[in-house]
Structure 1
Amino acid sequence: MRLALLFSALLTTTAVAGPVPYQGGTRVTFTPLPAVSGPPAQKARYIGGYVVKGEGTAWLTGLSDLVVTPGKDGVMIDTIGDYGTRARFTLPVRGTEGPLSLDWLRGADGKPFGNKSLSDSEDMAVDPRDGTVYVSFEGDARVMRYGPDLGGPGERLPLTGLPALPSNEGLEAVTFHLSSKGEASLILGAEVGGFWKCALDTYRCETLAGPTTPGFGYKLVSLAPLDPAKPDEMLALYRFYLPMVGARSVLRVVRLEGKRLRLVDTILRIEPPLPIDNYEGVSAVKTRDGYRLYLISDPIGDNDPTHLLMFDYQP
């Protein structure tokens, strides 16, 4: 969700500007962010980051989530955005630009959603068994199922047991969970508060007790798997913004224990001197020594750049 510059103590508001369609060009550029002097010692170590910009399009702003997949030429990044857009690009091992693929998320009729309330996609969850992608939406709070490339018509899941949610603080977070017995479910979180576990065989959702937020004004923006080999553990990203303070982000590890999400650890706080922004998406890639974490921003201002940050985490 894009943050407006005006902020009340309890609610954020969304900007109304939309993405600009193609104006020519299907490339993405990566400009390294300035080096950080004396980054704070944390459990996740700052590696660096980039300003990410698409040539001839503004679709690479308003991004809400990312899924990162390693490849021989770099890491492939799939993203979704506030206006029902989807983008795929590769952060190359060498070089500062690469190809960019853009399209719309689509409804059951195969058409783009057509208005902001229906289009506001916020988080993605991938079933590692077959690549099925689940996308949560904030305005019209729902989850839709797509094929591995996010293309084609989407299928709205007939979830039951969820409460009515405010249109601007709906299903901000979703991640896939596979139990030791092979039972598949989605773990959902709302920006307004609350967690649910929704079984994919019955589509029934049950409430989960969850940890309190990291502090006043922090709100949940993303859930993501940390390690497919440890399905009960997941990443939870929270954000905060006040004009006189700026943006702040907190990344936690939480664990599913029965009908509760328990806080395991706080591994990262993004505050000065780190590059602050409205980070809304997180994705983890397993490395030899731990995990490489990628965070992407939905810029605060309409004309602000999109930031991609990287951290190394060794539990």
Structure 2
Amino acid sequence: MRLGLAVAIIAAVALSLPARAVDRGKAEHLDSFTWHRVEPWFGGFSAIELAPDGLSMTVLSDRATILTSRIERDTDRITAITPDQVQKLRSSRNKVLEGRVGDSEGLAIAPDGSVYISFEGVARVARYRSLDAPAEVLSRPRAFDQLARNGAFEALAMDARGRLYTMPEISRAADGSIPVYRWDGRAWDTAFHLEQVGGFLPVAADFGPDGRLYVLERDTGTIGFRSRLRRWTLTGRGVTEEETLFQSRTGKHDNLEGLSVWRDTQGQLRATMISDDNFRFLQRTEIVEYRLPD
């Protein structure tokens, strides 16, 4: 979701304030790397997927730009990022996506290399056989037409069976819970619901190598952003064993919107997140990493 200049100013002020609280949860903050580029396409990143070795990544901008990059590391710390391929996303008619229809938010990469992207302006999910290919839009149930225009599908994840899961950022079920939609290769259904807790809204999701569902959530307050990471175990009847892994204090991180969960060379679970700077000079593109418990 694109945020206004006023929020960007508030966030910048919050980053300069002294810490008054500590993170809650079980995750360990490893590092935060600020990524700078001068190209006009750089910024607004809403999704990230890391390779299994953590040395390359695919990131998605909310202005229909997708790029691959190489990552240099010194043990736990990212030291440099070098872009490789930069590509504008295309419509099913092979036209460059622009405006509201190009509000690309969520990312999932299949084992065959196909890229799936969720969109917020016009709620839908599309498949790309390659980064420069035209979109193949998955069927859209009527429920998608009822979602908030600027609060639809920021999160997208793929499980080990190749099924896609997405959820609206703002729109809720009648009981206030978060509906999670699942694509099985033929049609969408409502797989389960997640409890809405506090003012946090879901902005990214991923299935970790442990098979659990991870959801990154964001709360936008009067003096900046807070982030929270929760996870669940999926069963045949829904989700169970909910855990809150971390909840950041206001202003610790920028506007985190993308999430990738993987195992590092020591075999430990790691969450890598990227922030959406909204193309505002007062914000920053930040890649944040946490070590997670098994």
- Quick check: TM above 0.5? yes
- Letter matched to residue 184 of structure 2: A
Shift in alpha-carbon separation, 1:58–1:50, aligned structure 2, 3 A: farther
From 197, 208, 214, the equivalent of 2:191 is 208
Secondary structure, counterpart of 1:118 in structure 2: helix
Work out whether 1:240 is the aligned partner of 2:254.
Answer: no
| Gap runs ≥5 in structure 1 | 8-35
Asked if structure 2 preserves the Cα contact closer than 8 Å seen for 1:134 and 1:143, the reply is yes
Could you say which residue in structure 2 is the equivalent of 1:113? 97
- CA deviation vs aligned residue, 1:128-156 (integer Å, no higher than 9, x gap): 2x122211000010000012x52211110
From 270, 280, 294, the equivalent of 2:248 is 270
Q: Which has the higher helix share?
A: 2
Q: What fraction of aligned residue pairs are identical, expressed as a percent?
A: 26
From 152, 175, 179, the equivalent of 2:133 is 152
Secondary structure, counterpart of 2:101 in structure 1: helix
Aligned-partner Cα distance in 2 for 1:196–1:122: 16
Question: TM-score, normalised on structure 1?
Answer: 0.77
Could you say which residue in structure 2 is the equivalent of 1:24? none
From 22, 29, 48, the equivalent of 1:66 is 48
Could you say which residue in structure 1 is the equivalent of 2:3? 3
Could you say which residue in structure 1 is the equivalent of 2:80? 96
Question: TM-score, normalised on structure 2?
Answer: 0.83
Could you say which residue in structure 1 is the equivalent of 2:236? 258
- Letter matched to residue 47 of structure 1: L
Aligned-partner Cα distance in 2 for 1:195–1:122: 16
Could you say which residue in structure 2 is the equivalent of 1:86? 66
- Letter matched to residue 196 of structure 1: Y
Shift in alpha-carbon separation, 1:263–1:113, aligned structure 2, 3 A: farther
How many residue pairs match? The answer is 269
Shift in alpha-carbon separation, 1:247–1:60, aligned structure 2, 3 A: same
Shift of 1:169: 0.8
RMSD (Å) for aligned C-alpha atoms: 2.5
Asked if structure 1 preserves the Cα contact closer than 8 Å seen for 2:115 and 2:127, the reply is yes
Work out whether 1:162 is the aligned partner of 2:139.
Answer: no
Work out whether 1:190 is the aligned partner of 2:168.
Answer: yes
Shift in alpha-carbon separation, 1:197–1:259, aligned structure 2, 3 A: farther
Higher mean displacement: 246-255 or 170-179:
170-179
Aligned-partner Cα distance in 1 for 2:128–2:279: 30
Secondary structure, counterpart of 1:311 in structure 2: strand
- Letter matched to residue 89 of structure 1: S
Higher mean displacement: 81-90 or 253-262:
253-262
Larger relative contact order (CA 8 Å, sep ≥ 6): 2
Work out whether 1:77 is the aligned partner of 2:54.
Answer: no
Higher mean displacement: 80-89 or 159-168:
159-168
Aligned-partner Cα distance in 2 for 1:263–1:278: 27
Shift of 1:300: 5.5
Shift in alpha-carbon separation, 1:254–1:97, aligned structure 2, 3 A: closer
